[in-house]
Amino acid sequence: MKNYIVTGCAGFIGSTLVDRLLSEGASVTGIDVFRDYYDTEIKRHNLASALENPLFTLAEKDLSQDLSFLNSFTGNSDELVIYHLAAQAGVRKSWGSDFRVYTRDNIDATQNLLEWAHSRGGIKNFVYASSSSIYGIPSTLPMTEEKTVPVPHSPYGVTKLAAENLVRLYTANRGLPSASLRFFTVYGPRQRPDMAFNRFIQAAFREKPIGVFGNGKQTRDFTFVDDIVQGLRLAENSTTGLAMNLGGGNRVTLLQAIETLGKVMGREIKIDFSESKLGDVPDTWASAELALQELGWKPSVSLEEGLRQEVIWLNPSFPQ
């Protein structure tokens, strides 16, 4: 039987990946230290169905600390795939003294896990969750892996790029099979409560204006969580250390996204504009050509359909 490790397993994307792997009949060890960046009850809830599955084991451990506990979880299987999604996410909090949290959870933890993977050996693949934040504000769009020079515009982006580089060099120097996937603004059921659509939907249900940073003309390439999980699954067999964009298909301005949300929710949405935040970028736009070529990956869920699913998740009594 194939064995998987999913780090950040209690988070938004990690828990969705865990459920997908378990539905395929795989055996999964999930690692998460349940950081309280947002309510840890939400994370426990994300894992509720996985915890009922005998094929799932949860290790509540900090990846930046000693990892010898992992040896007993993973046995001798040569089929071990590591999905490394644990991180301190979020651009806006990455300034000031909080940066130490980002270096610990994004860089130190990744290096620690790479060392463990290298010394264990027999790893089929190490798949890293990178981010569009590594690109910063390029002079031309869309963002392509070969042509766009990564120049992050936030401390968060710096740590994600550093970790991506660590993964790449463990492949180049140590022969560790790997792939890095650069996610573009992920949304859908279980989205983190600090992320825009989650905040917008909750405010709209309470008939409160939604808070938009900046003038709303910034563009984002929104990617539905199941499309991201599909990309992660396809990347299991891509072992050459390539970094690939996972995004595309739903690039709109924030104002257009809010209009679509209003249509889905069947209500007028009022907006409260405020200053854009330090580290925010004006645009993200993925070229998804490389992921198509290498993985056969293509995003398939429209913004309208994806938003409908997130709305229903946040309010199950919403008419389907």
Ligand X SMILES: NC(=O)c1ccc[n+]([C@@H]2O[C@H](COP(=O)([O-])OP(=O)(O)OC[C@H]3O[C@@H](n4cnc5c(N)ncnc54)[C@H](O)[C@@H]3O)[C@@H](O)[C@H]2O)c1
| Smallest gap from residue 34 Cβ to ligand X (A) | 5
| Residue from 267, 251, 268 nearest 303 by CA | 251
- Residue closer to ligand X by CB (options 88, 239) is 88
Give least dist CB 255 to ligand X, A.
19
Q: Minimum Å distance from CB 62 to ligand X?
A: 5
Q: Give the type of residue at 269.
A: I
Instruction: Tell me, residue by residue from 41 to 70, as one string, x for binding to ligand X by CB under 6 A and - for no binding.
Output: --x------------------xxx------
Q: Which is nearer to ligand X, 76 or 227 (CB)?
A: 227
> Is omega for the bond preceding 142 within 30 degrees of 0, making it cis?
yes
Q: Nearest approach, Cβ of 191 to ligand X (angstroms)?
A: 7
User: Which residue lies nearer to ligand X by CB, 76 or 257?
Assistant: 257
CA distance 222 to 198: 13
Helices then strands, each counted (H, E), the chain:
12, 13
Closest to ligand X by CB, 86 vs 258, is 86
Instruction: Tell me the C-alpha distance between 82 and 269, whole Å.
Output: 42
Number of neighbours of residue 93 by Cβ within 10 angstroms = 19
Closer Cβ to ligand X, 25 or 182, answer by number: 182
User: Token pair 């997130």 is at which residue?
Assistant: 310
- The Cα-based distances of 59 to 18, 128, 289, 303 in angstroms read 13, 19, 36, 34
Residues paired with 243 in a beta bridge: 180
Query: Does 93 contact ligand X by CB under 6 A?
Result: no
**Applying CB under 6 A, does 233 fall inside the site for ligand X?**
no
- Pick from 28, 47, 114, 186 the residue near ligand X by CB under 6 A: 186
DSSP secondary-structure letter at 52? T
Residue 192 touching ligand X (CB under 6 A): yes
Q: Which is nearer to ligand X, 109 or 254 (CB)?
A: 109
DSSP state of 47: T
Q: Considering only CA atoms, which of 45, 37, 36, 38 is closest in space to residue 10?
A: 45
Pick out residues in 122-181 that bind ligand X (CB under 6 A): 129, 131, 160
Nearer to ligand X, 190 or 308 (CB): 190
CB of 145 to ligand X, least distance (A): 15
Count of residues engaged in binding ligand X, rule: CB under 6 A? 30
The structure tokens 């405010």 sit at 203
Give the residue among 293, 113, 305, 285 at the shortest CA–CA distance from 182. Answer: 285
Is 187 a catalytic site residue? no
Nearest distance from C-beta of residue 101 to ligand X, angstroms: 8
Residue 119 in tokens: 């010394």
Q: Work out which of 8, 177, 299, 306 binds ligand X, going by CB under 6 A.
A: 8
Binding of ligand X at residue 12 (CB under 6 A)?
Answer: yes
CA distance 180 to 186: 16
Select which of 83, 156, 170, 187 is catalytic: 156
Two tokens, residue 163? 């970790």
Indicate the SS3 state at residue 253: strand
Query: For ligand X, which residue of 85, 123, 235, 311 counts as binding (CB under 6 A)?
Result: 85
- At 115 the three-state DSSP class reads helix
Question: Is residue 185 involved in binding ligand X (CB under 6 A)?
Answer: yes
Residues contributing to the site for ligand X (CB under 6 A): 7-8, 10-14, 31-35, 43, 62-64, 85-89, 105, 109, 129, 131, 160, 183, 185-186, 192
Residues identified as active-site: 156
